[in-house]
């Protein structure tokens, strides 16, 4: 019998008990090994929570911050694109929207085509956005993001219905939530068949955040209203400088060379939304800001218009001809002065030293003459 046999011979019952207990323990939990029961609706609740976090809360009460906070009010995000007639203007005999393609370029990619499988789109009257008014045969709004541009008329074009209202609009939703400042460019490809391109006149492009603004009331960014017939309307955004591919007809289209008379180029207008604090703010440390607006007054601008502090040697006075000679002729308090005219003293005069004068008149009496007369009489009395 080995030493191990000898050692364990009297403990077979304990070993059996411990072995049975070990076998009841759960295996080591690996990734994807764990299944949790009783989780009905858990995932949807988590998804809803995440959505609420993404949307952010508009009003925050009793918000305490221990550390630094950066408030970026320029980083607004969009998930909806609208192209519509804003003033009922058209360059054709009807209000039909007739376009070929729309591109949204972000990080050197046409994100509209990249996410086309998840997008939803509709054609509506802007005054009644919930009612889809349809489209002409084989010309749905989804053709705008199929990345197909055909020279043949009406092939892969988008056509709003005959009799389209004057406020007709195309709405494209479910675009991946993207910061507007990250957009490089949006391109609208017009129909160039005969005079149909004039239907683009009166249209404008707008961006919205449908999660924060389900009724699409707040425009986040927009183009100007198209006033001429162009093959391509290119609207540049802040990140156009990050575009690293070539400017060509199949990517972001240039407006130079062969394209100079085909591409209309403008910069998007981005609406800024200030961060408003309705209560008091106590700042313990430094407050750094580019501008300080109080009411309607820009305090920084006002301060910059004020005169600098006057320091020794920094003050120059204009129109001083003869000033120095006048100053030289005035009385000096620290030196003796010779007065060439009568001087009037309203208050008392205290003389610490000698007072020398050719004559002194007090209340009309010449003291000098009076004293001389008195002394003369005293001398006559002494000699009598």
| Spans of all domains in the chain | 77-270
Contact at 8 Å (CB) between 309 and 302? no
The answer to whether 233 and 264 have CB atoms below 8 angstroms apart is: yes
Only one residue has tokens 């404008």, namely: 204
d(CA 158, CA 191): 9
Q: At 273, phi and psi to the nearest 5?
A: -120, 110
How confident is the model at residue 45, as a pLDDT?
76
Residue 169 has what pLDDT?
Answer: 98
Rounded CA gap, 378 and 14, in Å?
150
Collapsing DSSP states into helix, strand and coil, what is residue 85? strand
Residue-wise burial string across 289-321, b where 16 or more C-beta atoms lie within 10 A, e elsewhere? eeeeeeeeeeeeeeeeeeeeeeeeeeeeeeeee
Q: How far apart are CA 200 and CA 343, in angstroms?
A: 91
pLDDT per residue rounded down to tens, the chain (384 residues): 555 566 556 666 666 676 677 777 766 666 666 666 767 777 777 777 766 665 554 555 666 666 676 666 656 999 999 999 999 999 999 999 999 999 999 999 999 999 999 999 999 999 999 999 999 999 999 999 999 886 566 678 999 999 999 999 999 999 999 999 999 999 999 998 888 999 999 999 999 999 999 999 999 999 999 999 999 999 999 999 999 999 999 999 999 999 999 999 999 999 987 767 777 777 777 777 777 888 788 888 888 787 777 778 777 777 777 777 777 777 777 777 777 777 777 888 788 878 777 777 777 777 777 777 888 888 888 887
Handedness of CA 223, 224, 227, 230 (dihedral sign): negative
Please answer whether residues 222 and 205 qualify as being in contact, where contact means their C-beta atoms are separated by less than 8 angstroms.
Answer: yes
């Amino acid at each position: 019998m080995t030493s191990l046999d000898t050692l364990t011979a009297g403990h077979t019952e304990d070993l059996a008990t411990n072995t049975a207990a070990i076998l009841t323990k759960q295996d080591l939990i690996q990734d994807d090994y764990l299944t949790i029961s009783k989780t009905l609706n858990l995932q949807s609740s988590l998804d809803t929570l995440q959505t609420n976090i993404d949307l952010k809360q508009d009003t925050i009460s009793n918000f305490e911050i221990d550390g630094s906070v950066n408030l970026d009010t320029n980083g607004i995000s969009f998930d909806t694109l609208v192209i519509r007639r804003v003033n009922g203007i058209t360059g054709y005999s009807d209000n039909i929207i007739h376009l070929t393609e729309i591109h949204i370029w972000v990080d050197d990619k046409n994100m509209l085509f990249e996410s086309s499988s998840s997008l939803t789109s509709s054609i509506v009257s802007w005054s009644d956005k919930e009612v889809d008014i349809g489209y002409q045969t084989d010309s749905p709004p989804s053709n705008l993001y199929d990345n197909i541009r055909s020279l043949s008329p009406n092939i892969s074009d988008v056509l709003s219905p005959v009799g389209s209202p004057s406020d007709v609009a195309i709405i494209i939703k479910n675009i991946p939530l993207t910061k507007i400042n990250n957009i490089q460019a949006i391109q609208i490809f017009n129909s160039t068949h005969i005079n149909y391109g004039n239907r683009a006149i009166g249209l404008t492009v707008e961006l919205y955040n449908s999660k924060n603004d389900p009724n699409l009331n707040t425009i986040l960014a927009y183009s100007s209203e198209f006033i001429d017939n162009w093959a391509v309307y290119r609207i540049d955004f802040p990140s156009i400088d990050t575009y690293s591919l070539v400017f060509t007809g199949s990517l972001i289209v240039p407006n130079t060379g062969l394209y100079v008379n085909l591409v209309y180029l403008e910069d998007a207008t981005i609406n800024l939304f200030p961060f408003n604090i309705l209560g008091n703010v106590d700042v313990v440390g430094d407050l750094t800001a580019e501008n300080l607006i109080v009411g309607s007054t820009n305090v920084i601008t006002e301060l910059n218009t004020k005169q600098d502090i006057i320091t020794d040697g920094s003050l120059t006075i204009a129109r001083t001809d003869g000033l120095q000679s006048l100053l030289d002729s005035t009385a000096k308090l620290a030196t003796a002065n010779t007065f060439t005219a009568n001087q009037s003293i309203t208050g008392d005069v205290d003389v610490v030293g000698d007072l020398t004068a050719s004559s002194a008149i007090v209340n009309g009496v010449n003291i000098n003459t009076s004293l001389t007369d008195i002394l003369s009489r005293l001398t006559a009395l002494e000699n009598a």
